Structure 1
């Protein structure tokens, strides 16, 4: 408020001295009485014209409108892959700087081929994300998604945030390196902290498709894809399932699964998805009955009723359409 104070004092000084000169001139022409009748500029009017309150409001308004531009979405922090823990999860280097971004940074979006879906989780169709790719020894390909051993080692572990409690399981991801090389991987595993949002931990075999394995980590862009080829969806009941409790897993889906429902005889009941990639019926409702599966695009396929045979892969003879 220093500027406000000095400006007001300046006007007060002018108001105090100008009337003296005016009175001297007017006394010569018409006398003291006439001059007093005409009056001089009021110091209160001068102050009111640019009062401390008025200037203060202007300064305050200027301050309020001069805000900093919004910061750009932070890109995933560089991480160094570390040793893998039992159970399929692949932690990065705990000494690495963690990423504070709440989401993978989008590079561009397109709604021409795959519009964003309200049923999708953090990974939206038609959006390309940027991050880094690291590599790990995937052994037989089994991981946190509990799909079991994989015959195709083009697989990857998704960072914990984008993995979103197993919602990324079964997603097909097209990965592109800065050199233009690409590889499509299936998400079968989770890469917890310090894997950053946007980061993918590729199997060593998949990493070698896009970069020299000695690089260890490279910048990438990646996006969800719907592959053209693929076998039918299969269903598997979890170990311990019965008519009183069951867990149901979807295997081989072309597009990520958004919802699973079981027939109750009088309608459909939606089951909740566990963090270990099974849809659970705690009371046994629908166990052994027909199953209705919805993908992130809203497509629905319905299977026949399957017997509750724990840990047995049962082909369902249905598949989602390509997007």
Structure 2
């Protein structure tokens, strides 16, 4: 009987840890957006990489190591009171193709198309979680 209880407790603890590990890998930051033209870019010059793209701030850039990495972005809330509920409830996966230089207003500067999937563009800047995929 005691062994059964210990096994159940162990399974519950392991299940909880597995669930929390996926949440623990998401980082928090802010997202802004930029508009076309999207080329040239710091990573790929004049190569067209579509519209599900982003520019990395110094938080992610790491001397061009961010180039080509993909991130799942989710809006978590407003950064100001201008748009009370800016988030759409959707997520988007973007590829880093550019650099958002020092003074960049967001952790990740999304293409306008990517930003509009996760948030109302009228918000301009939103709180996010992001995870490399």
TM-score (norm 1): 0.30
2:63 is aligned to 165
Within the alignment, does 1:208 sit opposite 2:106 as a pair? no
Distance in 1 of aligned mates of 2:75 and 2:121: 13
Structure with max Cα Rg? 1
Alignment of 1:182 with 2:91, yes or no, is yes
- Report what 1:218 is aligned to: 126
C-alpha distance in 2, partners of 1:165/1:145? 11
Residues 141 and 205 (structure 1 numbering): CA distance in 2 closer, same or farther, change over 3 Å? farther
1:151, CA displacement in angstroms? 4.6
8 Å CA contact retained: 1:142, 1:148: yes
Q: In structure 2, list runs of 5 or more residues that go unmatched.
A: 1-19, 77-86
Give the Å deviation of 1:161.
3.4
Distance in 2 between residues matched to 1:160 and 1:172, nearest whole Å:
16
Greater strand fraction, Structure 1 or Structure 2: 2
The reply to whether residue 130 of structure 1 matches residue 38 of structure 2 is no
**Correspondence for 1:193 among 102, 117, 123:** 102
| Higher RCO (CA 8 Å, separation ≥ 6 residues) | 2
Question: How far off is 1:147 after superposition?
Answer: 4.8
**Post-superposition CA distance 1:120-176 (Å, at most 9, x none):** xxxxxx721100000011414431112533252100000023200000000011000
Contact 2:52/2:95 (8 A) holds in 1 = yes
Evaluate the alpha carbon distance shift between residue 170 and residue 205 of structure 1 in structure 2; reply closer, same or farther with a 3 A threshold. Answer: same
Deviations 1:278-308 (A, max 9, x none): xxxxxxxxxxxxxxxxxxxxxxxxxxxxxxx
Q: Cα distance, 1:194 vs. partner?
A: 1.3
Query: What aligned pairs does 1:1-323 form with structure 2 within 5 A after superposition?
Result: 110=21, 127-178=25-76, 179=87, 180-195=89-104, 199-225=107-133
CA distance in 2, matches of 1:189, 1:136: 11
Provide structure 1 residue ranges, at least 5 long, that are not aligned to the other structure: 1-108, 112-125, 226-323
- TM-score norm. by structure 2 comes to 0.68
Q: 1:208 to 1:141 in 2, by over 3 A?
A: farther
User: What do residues 63-82 of structure 1 show as CA deviations (whole Å, max 9, x unaligned)?
Assistant: xxxxxxxxxxxxxxxxxxxx
Alignment check: 8 A CA contact 1:147 1:188 kept: no
Q: How many residues align structurally? A: 103
